[in-house]
Structure 1
Amino acid sequence: MAPTPSPGKRRRLHEEISGDRSQPQAQRRVLSQAVRLWVLADKLETSEIETAYRLAQELGALRSSDIKFANLVLTAVKAPKRVWLALRREATGSNLSDEWLRSLNVLHVDWLADTEKKGIMQAYDAYRIVLPRDTAESAQKASPSASSSSIKKEVASPSCIKKESPSLSSPPSSTPVIPTSPPPPAWTNSEYSCQRPSPLRSAHNQPLVDELEVIRKQRDLTSQRWSERSYSMCLSAIKAYPRKVCSQSLKEVKSLKGVGPKMIVSIARPAESCQFCSSGQIVEAQQILSDPANPIMFSFMELYGVGPVAARELYEDGCRSNADVVARGKSLATHLDVADCLGILPDLKLPIPRAEVEEIASLLYEEARVVLPGCRYTICGGYRRGKPRSNDVDVVISHEGNGARIHDILDRLKRKGIMSYNVNVLTHSDEARLDAALHLNVAEIVVLPPRSVIVPHPKHRRVDLVMCPPQIYGAAVIGWTGAKTFEKDIRRWAKLKGYKFHSTGLRVRETGELVETPTEEDVFRLLGLRWMPPEWRNTDA
């Protein structure tokens, strides 16, 4: 792993990747800060180079101070060999490999002019300069060595595959089980996602939703909060829309609440000129994915306790893998020993099948009911919304007793070897703003379930164990079920109705008085919302 950069160098790296916030915003938002531009000098005057940079910045792109920070190169040269020589010449002193240079998108400068003229980021293919490959390298790739072939054969050989122990019955099929969803409520054209049914996957527009999600994540990564929110609202509206967007009239798409004017340009022009409808892709999304830095930072954002700002800073500090993040003392390592974190990290990266989620929740409940007889529980998170696999297990337990007894439950889990690590416990003493008698206790733990038919090969799994009194059980279950956009919009809707909504309860906005919500239905009724089954709250991509 690379050493930590100095503060000055780190600040410059931050500006190269995310933009300099002290600079004026783009006059015309056609490109984005996902484009980090470098212009090759060959066949261009200094004034022409500066004009290209100025135009790109006016359209929203970033100007790279060094080719090593760029992910898009413009050139006036059309001959591939000459472009390749120019690239290698300008990369001299930057310690950049030929492989890295060939990974760059190299386009003719006409791309920038056409992007400005047409008011939308143009697809690369018509402008791309295909760089030549070394003859020896190409021959090697075309004819793999005999030794590598023998290695592949050895790996694939049945004799090398470890046989399963016959001591247990065969586990259920690993094919993801997707539960049957109840019939959806009627679709409503509303700016509030909590008022319209959103499926797990859109039968009509999921490819478009996936493209928009890439751009949304990049906006989140670079702290462009208003833009990120716009993309969240747009993809949520399109995901819930019960017809194919590309088959609708421009007037119909413009009428969709949550789809702004800028989105219309990419997804709802006349079919022959609509970027997505004609190619099945949005150029900006493909540009973001082609930049090797972005997938790495996106993966950091999936780690426990790592948000977009931290993900960006970790990348700028030289981290290139999840193990690097933990080795820096971040993510779970903020609470646990680094060596322990590195040991369980491979397990935590694996998704959890529904049957295993249920098994873990049942284990937790059996121990909880010993400490708090009569308690009940609900599995929340993506599991409750119908996802076939989950990243962690969210369990909300309702109890009549003292919530501080969560520590007694954790002690039992530890003694029985179910809980392998206690990451963090948040109790009401940590949240003084909440009523002492009505609060949430949240234990962030790692469990290692015992071996069983359901779990023949136990792995460490992340669990959020949430305990709350019956008076706020409904609000807690809604809050921990998600999805994120659904939660944001139900809070906005609650504000409109004079309430504050949170997983810690529903309160009157003016007085702060708690309104009891023992069931989810109570929350919907008090807010004047029709009931939305959890399987239809999948408002995120």
Structure 2
Amino acid sequence: MPLDLPITYLLSAHIPDEKRLQLEDEIPTLTYDITEAKLVLGKVATKKRAEFELRSRKLWTEEVKGTEGEEKDSVEDKRSAGRGQEKGPARKKRRTGPIKIPDHVEVVVLDSSTESEAEEDENQKKSVRGRSGSSTQSEDVQSPAQSPRKEIISSPPREKSPHTPRTPTADQEGPVFNGNGTIKVVKLSWFEESVAAGHMLPLDGYIVYEGRRVEAPKHRNVMKPPRSPLPGEIIARAQSDSPHASSPPFPRRSNPLQSPSSQASVTRPTPLIRQTTSEHDNPPELPPIPDYLKTSYSCQRPTPLYTLNDPFIEFLVRIRQSRTLTNDEVGVRAYSTSIASLAAYPHTVSTAEEILHLPGCSERIAALWQEFNDTGHIGAVDDIDNDPEMQTLNLFYEIWGVGPNGARDFYYRKGWRDLDDVVEFGWNNLSRVQQIGVKYYEEFQQKIPRDEVEHIGAVILDAANHVAPGCQMTIVGGYRRGKPESGDVDVVVSNPDETVTLYLIQRIVEEIERREWITHTLLLSTANSERNQTPVSWKGDMGHAGGFGAGFDTLDKALVVWQDPAWPTREEDLAADPRAKNPNVHRRVDIIVSPWRTVGCAVAGWTSGTTFQRDLRRYVKAVLGLKFDSSGVRKRDDGAWVDLEGVGGKAKDMLTAEKRVFEGLGLEWREPGERCTR
């Protein structure tokens, strides 16, 4: 079972990327916003270093004394009393017996559950305030212990509301985390040893630093007056000396390859979550959260194609896209997790508090929802949409075969600003796929309706059965999840006779080319056939520095450009001009051939939404100690292939094989239309 941790931030310093990704998967309450955290894990050995790590993330704290310091004071008291050498005012001794309360003294009954909720509300407000960059602190409230004529007694905690906030309260945190509002920097080894033990170990000897949040130093300009974003500001994050300083349309960095995420950040502050007095006095009744939404793995819950919160989700998708373009992998993962949770939520969100109860949804997401609910839009998205640099990056990203890294290379290193620049200055240096992507850019942007997808699939299946009778095919991707339109067409082809699928991809492509449906074959991989369709030799986690052997997911596949060869005036046009152009739109098509023994994994992998697939791999790794991929399942200790689809004999069809994969992994079957994690 995952550890019952408070909101946790992971320091990435001195942690290899692959190890960091593994830890992010293992921490169930991970946040990417340190202002939300109560626990900070990292490879930190000294208090000075811990304070520096917090300050570098604009989190200002002052050290607090823990129980060890209190015990030392108590020992010193006893020594001083024994020697009779007290100097100055005598220290107040700790009361050990029952408390006698005089009649004239007012008694304040402090309910533990109420106290923790109040503390948590205040922490949440400070967290949002900290993210917005505000240097204003909330007014200090005098604690009961500071009142001159009040004694405090505690009553047993009341029964909790079923809508307990996901941030652990004082009584939830137990002896390890006391919920006193501080932030603890703890050695990473504590978490690793706790995971190995299966429960949280005591923090003794692992706490490097414990501090309480304080206001930033007065001389620091934490937040500048709001102003309209300058061109290119979203990515370049170019700091200007004056709010009215001019900026060229496409500012160049001193290091053209420098990632935008590494630049100094000047961002639009996240709005505060607005709360009213009535909300505190009469909190609204929150809809019940389904049991399936109490897991962090989206592969364990149904996520439909259309949801009640789609308008807000669309804004988050656009923010995530900007994180993709700026090489912010952590941001992409965080937004993907939040989007998947919101997409699975069966109610229309009506308050920001609802969002805080969903797995993976932080106060930042709640604040964005509040802004969306109040104004109908999100300022950060408006900035992204209006930024010319972001628009150009997205233009390059949409070129087939370029991707986010290529888009940044085109813009920052090569200095290109549009498709004309790509053709004029870089055509000969593009890959063949990229050249086709530029040539048919506008055509590839056109979506493919479902009936055309089905027609393309029928042509492929007919060609496959022509060269190898008995083939089966499944159209996967967004089409199988129910999308009305697709960006490309993905199909998985197989045959129960595994001798037939050997080099089948080559014969299928040749037959379709003969029928004139394929205009360009950009990739034809027969790696699986070249190893005689045997499971990939993989040494497991212990046998490879990176954890994975080369070529793990290497099914035979073809990447082709598709065009319907028929059009109404074909005969007349060709008679008048033998070189007459086909007016039909070019399409992108992927043809995957899988051996029958692993066809269920192939269909599941190529069907599910991106976050569903990611969480499926996380689940299989964390819970089962296995590795899942579209080419099969392996053991992580020795890399041995695990046969999930042959249980009970050979599967009769692809759907049966896919269902056996879910069953073998201990997962409830989810229809393709329930895997739409965006």
TM range, smaller chain: 0.5 to 0.7
Q: 1:349 to 1:427 in 2, by over 3 A?
A: same
Q: 1:249 to 1:27 in 2, by over 3 A?
A: closer
What is the distance in 2 between the residues matched to 1:367 and 1:524? 30
Counterpart of 1:515 in structure 2 is 642
> CA contact under 8 A between 1:326 and 1:333: conserved in structure 2?
no
Mean alpha-carbon deviation: is it higher for 358-367 or for 326-335?
326-335
Provide the secondary structure at the position in 2 that maps to 1:256: coil
| Structure 1 position 397, deviation (Å) | 0.1
Counterpart of 2:654 in structure 1 is none
Provide the secondary structure at the position in 2 that maps to 1:188: helix
Q: Is 2:537 the partner of 1:409?
A: no
What is the distance in 1 between the residues matched to 2:396 and 2:630? 26
2:303 counterpart (192, 195, 198): 198
> CA contact under 8 A between 2:504 and 2:593: conserved in structure 1?
no
| Structure 1 position 266, deviation (Å) | 2.8
- 1:400-430 per-residue CA deviation (whole Å, 9 max, x = no partner) reads 3143232122122222211110001222269
Q: 1:348 to 1:379 in 2, by over 3 A?
A: same
Q: 1:52 to 1:238 in 2, by over 3 A?
A: farther
Q: Is 2:460 the partner of 1:293?
A: no
Counterpart of 1:334 in structure 2 is 431
> CA contact under 8 A between 1:353 and 1:390: conserved in structure 2?
yes
Report matched runs for 1:43-62 at 5 Å.
55=222
Mean alpha-carbon deviation: is it higher for 389-398 or for 205-214?
205-214
What is the distance in 1 between the residues matched to 2:131 and 2:241? 17
| Structure 1 position 345, deviation (Å) | 3.1
- 1:431-476 per-residue CA deviation (whole Å, 9 max, x = no partner) reads 97983699610100111123279x9963211110000111111110
Q: Is 2:63 the partner of 1:27?
A: no
Report matched runs for 1:470-481 at 5 Å.
470-481=596-607
Provide the secondary structure at the position in 2 that maps to 1:387: coil
Counterpart of 1:486 in structure 2 is 612
| Structure 1 position 520, deviation (Å) | 1.1
Q: 1:510 to 1:325 in 2, by over 3 A?
A: farther
What is the distance in 2 between the residues matched to 1:417 and 1:189? 52
Report matched runs for 1:495-506 at 5 Å.
495=621, 496-506=623-633
Q: Is 2:495 the partner of 1:393?
A: no
What is the distance in 2 between the residues matched to 1:260 and 1:68? 23
What is the distance in 2 between the residues matched to 1:332 and 1:326? 10
Provide the secondary structure at the position in 2 that maps to 1:350: coil
Q: Is 2:669 the partner of 1:537?
A: no
Counterpart of 1:229 in structure 2 is 333
What is the distance in 1 between the residues matched to 2:296 and 2:235? 42
Q: Is 2:561 the partner of 1:446?
A: yes
- 1:153-202 per-residue CA deviation (whole Å, 9 max, x = no partner) reads xxxxxxxxxxxxxxxxxxxxxxxxxxxxxxxx985332111112212222
Write the letter of the residue equivalent to 2:630. Answer: S
2:590 counterpart (464, 487, 493): 464
1:318 counterpart (401, 415, 418): 415
Report matched runs for 1:78-477 at 5 Å.
90=246, 115=269, 188-202=293-307, 204-245=308-349, 247-248=350-351, 250=353, 252-267=354-369, 274-316=370-412, 317-322=414-419, 324-325=421-422, 333-335=430-432, 338=435, 342-399=438-495, 400=498, 401-428=500-527, 435=534, 440-451=555-566, 458-477=584-603
Mean alpha-carbon deviation: is it higher for 355-364 or for 456-465?
456-465
TM-score, with structure 2 as normaliser: 0.51
Q: 1:392 to 1:239 in 2, by over 3 A?
A: same
| Structure 1 position 342, deviation (Å) | 4.7
| Structure 1 position 330, deviation (Å) | 7.7
Provide the secondary structure at the position in 2 that maps to 1:55: coil
Q: 1:73 to 1:355 in 2, by over 3 A?
A: farther
Q: Tell which has more relative contact order, 1 or 2 (C-alpha 8 A, sep 6+).
A: 1
Q: 1:297 to 1:336 in 2, by over 3 A?
A: closer
> CA contact under 8 A between 1:234 and 1:258: conserved in structure 2?
yes
> CA contact under 8 A between 2:352 and 2:366: conserved in structure 1?
no
Provide the secondary structure at the position in 2 that maps to 1:277: helix
| Structure 1 position 63, deviation (Å) | 11
Calculate the aligned-residue CA RMSD, in Å.
4.2
Write the letter of the residue equivalent to 1:291. Answer: D
| Structure 1 position 388, deviation (Å) | 0.8
Report matched runs for 1:37-48 at 5 Å.
none
Write the letter of the residue equivalent to 1:279. Answer: T
Q: 1:66 to 1:305 in 2, by over 3 A?
A: closer
> CA contact under 8 A between 2:528 and 2:555: conserved in structure 1?
no
Q: How many residues align?
A: 395
What is the distance in 2 between the residues matched to 1:68 and 1:206? 26
Write the letter of the residue equivalent to 2:385. Answer: L
What is the distance in 2 between the residues matched to 1:257 and 1:31? 23
What is the distance in 1 between the residues matched to 2:230 and 2:221? 9
Write the letter of the residue equivalent to 1:216. Answer: R
- 1:206-256 per-residue CA deviation (whole Å, 9 max, x = no partner) reads 1211111122112222222112211110111111111122x1462x43221
What is the distance in 2 between the residues matched to 1:521 and 1:114? 46
> CA contact under 8 A between 1:326 and 1:332: conserved in structure 2?
no
- What percent of counterpart residues are identical? 32
Q: 1:64 to 1:54 in 2, by over 3 A?
A: farther
| Structure 1 position 313, deviation (Å) | 1.8
Counterpart of 1:48 in structure 2 is none
What is the distance in 2 between the residues matched to 1:481 and 1:326? 35
Unaligned runs of 5+ in 1: 1-23, 33-50, 77-85, 97-111, 121-184, 268-273
Q: 1:242 to 1:353 in 2, by over 3 A?
A: same
> CA contact under 8 A between 1:289 and 1:295: conserved in structure 2?
yes
Write the letter of the residue equivalent to 2:611. Answer: T
Counterpart of 1:104 in structure 2 is none
Q: 1:507 to 1:215 in 2, by over 3 A?
A: same
| Structure 1 position 484, deviation (Å) | 0.6
